[in-house]
Amino acid sequence: MSSTALETVKTEVENESSNFSLWLHQIRAILKLEVKKNLFSLRSILIYLLALLPVIICAMIAIVVFLTSTAGGDPRWREEFSQVMATTFTFIYNALILRTVVFFGCAWIFMNLFRGEIVDRSLHYYFLCPVRREVLVAGKYLSGMIAAIIIFSLTTIVSLFFLYLAGYPSSLNYLIHGVGLRHAGIYVGITILACVGYGAFFLLVGLLFRNPILPALILYGWEWINFLLPPLLKKVSVVHYLHSLNPVPMDEGPFAVLAEPTPAWISIPSLLLMSVIVIALGCWKIRRAEISYSGE
């Protein structure tokens, strides 16, 4: 290779690396602005109220169980109690936390990343910066992820903790020294994956639709009827992959169409791949996006 060609390659490599460090700097700057907005703006109050719902329900169940149980000292009761609580939490987690709180919470956070700025008429501030639109999508998506993961992981952990508090002190022992802690970790993992999957979907929905509520409700319905769908269609959903990861299997009722749960080594990469494809679509859409607030 001649020295000029070598120089050119070297310059290209240096440019790429300086571009990359610029993008990282820009993502950090966007994160700083957006995380603050996602966690502390007026819009986030709704998310906190939603996130509190399962915590309050679990706390109430715990209080009722604690006050009404009389057989706390019986070791057989203690074992049964832990089993019942594990099943109860799986039900609360899947029906309330995952399918409702995380779903609508992510809808609110991620749809507002772009749609909210269009409604506030402030998106042009980003569009007038020398920033690649893909970098903007990455920054905003990550900021949504950070906010969603913080809020909904806390909801999951605190709800679980309150529920097990009902059988104090023996249940706490189960939680810390038994499989309880491992289960808690898995639930948090599922919550994070849910934020990744739903977040990507709702970010795209917020870019594609002026009124994203309808597509969100359609997805909500689709996720809820997942247990009735044939095995092939089940795979076209987020919740199917998340259910496969549940530490405690959940009874989906007498009408459920049974299907083999997808193993974790397939479901996790599938969900991540699906999210990457959806985010790529979002990038494609934003590259062609125009600022026309009057039409909104």
Partner 1 sequence: MTEMNDNLIVFDNVSKFYGEILGVNRVNLKISAGITSLVGPNGSGKTTLMNLMTGLLQPTRGKMSVLGISPNNPEQLFRKVGYCSQFDSFPRGATGRELIRSYLTVHGYSKTEANELTHKALERVNLLEAADRKVAGYSKGMRQKARLAQSIAHNPRVLVLDEPLNGLDPMARAEAINLFRSLAKEGLHLIISSHILHEVDMMSDSVILVSNGYVIAEGNIHGVREEIEERPAEIMIRCEFPTKLASKVFAMDSVVEARLHKDQKGLFVKTKDADKFYLMFNKLVIENDWGIESVAPADDDLNAVYQYLIGSEGEGKGR
Write out the residues near partner 1 by the rule CB under 8 A: 22, 25-26, 29-30, 32-33, 37, 41-42, 120-122, 124-133, 287-288, 290-293, 295
The token pair that represents 233 in the structure block: 């269609």
Minimum distance from residue 46 beta carbon to partner 1 (Å): 15
Cα(262)–Cα(236) distance, integer angstroms: 12
Provide the CB-side half-sphere exposure for 86 (13 A, CA): 22
Residue 19 or 83: the one with the smaller Cβ distance to partner 1 is 19
- Asked if 47 contacts 108 with a C-beta cutoff of 8 angstroms, the reply is yes
Return the residue matching tokens 């095995």: 231
Helix (H) or strand (E) run with residue 180 in it: helix 180-208
Minimum distance from residue 47 beta carbon to partner 1 (Å): 16
Instruction: Write the DSSP string, 34-71.
Output: HHHHHHHSTTHHHHHHHHHHHHHHHHHHHHHHHHH---
Minimum distance from residue 165 beta carbon to partner 1 (Å): 38
Minimum distance from residue 147 beta carbon to partner 1 (Å): 16
Minimum distance from residue 210 beta carbon to partner 1 (Å): 14
Residue 70 or 292: the one with the smaller Cβ distance to partner 1 is 292
Residue 277 or 291: the one with the smaller Cβ distance to partner 1 is 291
Cα(157)–Cα(162) distance, integer angstroms: 9
Residue 230 or 295: the one with the smaller Cβ distance to partner 1 is 295
Residue 69 or 122: the one with the smaller Cβ distance to partner 1 is 122
Cα(114)–Cα(223) distance, integer angstroms: 24
- Sorted by sequence, the CB contacts under 8 Å of residue 97 that are 6+ apart come out as 54, 152, 155, 156, 159, 191
Minimum distance from residue 30 beta carbon to partner 1 (Å): 6
Residue 9 or 129: the one with the smaller Cβ distance to partner 1 is 129
